[in-house]
Amino acid sequence: MTYANLKVSAIQREQYLVLSQLIAIAVVAVAAVGVWLIGLLFPSFFIYPYFKWSGWEAVWKFWPLFAWGVGLNLILMLLGSSKLPIRVNDNRELLGWELVTSTLAGVWEEFGYRWAFICYAMIGIAVVNWVFGAGLGWTLVIGCVIGALVLWSEKEKGLAVLALGGAVLAVLFALYVNPIYWFYQFLVWVIHFTTLTLMDPVLYGGHQTLLIFGAVVANSWFRDGHKYQGPLGLVNSWYAGMVLLYATVIYGLWTAVVVHALYDIVISVLRFVLQKTR
């Protein structure tokens, strides 16, 4: 394949990526309508006071993320481990398309993974917790009570009393056991250590607990969206997502949008510069 064909192929790939991102923006828009409806019906469920912009000063506080992205990609590209789109000198058109996709990614991924999708993750967590907590507990209560009645009718009074005791324990289980919440509390504790306590203002900053759980789930979806980058990409996207969650909660969603877009733009420009020198 000639350099010209490589260039055309790479540009076409970026054009398809723009189209897919426009579709993703439409998906996020539909999800946003759902979040709005949920807010109308259950105003205290998804408390989200993070729609704000803290200015460029807040953005520059995330310079370590930009430096990390440059350093990591520079090393990978120099080692030949990064899949550069093309290796030709004249790639300004490709850079233009990459800048478009970088900007769109910063918008839809942040509005999705740091806002709308968090709400749906919260719903999923709450439902699953109820199923394996209160739902299971009350089911056991009903089963134990029915069993006690059957045993009593068959003159098995001792076993009937045991069944009623089981019903009492099941009531306690239904009222006080939250297995999924407890799991995410443990996971938050793990994140506390694996982020060297830097995420503590988010994890333990008095924010809505279920929202933080949902944000962790949404970040795992964000991470999984980068599986094509391999194991290193998965780890990198998980921690980058944590940084963007920090930016959202502490400085506002619009700050996270700009940080994300700039991160991707810096990487695109770096690739352009390196390709020009080859």
The arithmetic mean of pLDDT across residues 17-23, rounded, is 92
Task: State what percent of residues in the chain have pLDDT above 90.
Answer: 76
Tell which residue, 146, 122, 114, 105, has the closest CA to residue 22. 105
Q: How high does pLDDT run on average in the chain?
A: 91
Task: Kindly indicate the confidence band of residue 277, based on its pLDDT and cuts at 50, 70 and 90.
Answer: low
pLDDT at 209 over 80: yes
The arithmetic mean of pLDDT across residues 194-223, rounded, is 97
Residue 3 pLDDT: 46
Tell which residue, 113, 110, 122, 119, has the closest CA to residue 260. 110
The arithmetic mean of pLDDT across residues 118-145, rounded, is 97
pLDDT tens, position by position, 243-272? 999 999 999 999 999 999 999 999 988 888
Residue 157 pLDDT: 86
- Alpha-carbon distance 38 to 213, whole Å? 18
The arithmetic mean of pLDDT across residues 161-175, rounded, is 96
Of 11 and 86, more confident = 11
Which pair of structure tokens corresponds to residue 104?
């769109």
Residue 271 pLDDT: 82
Residue 90 pLDDT: 45
pTM: 0.90
What residues contact 183, with CB distance under 8 A and at least 6 apart? none
pLDDT tens, position by position, 44-95? 999 999 999 999 999 999 999 999 999 998 888 777 755 444 444 447 778 8
Overall number of domains in the chain: 1
pLDDT at 278 over 90: no
Domain that includes residue 15, residue range: 3-277
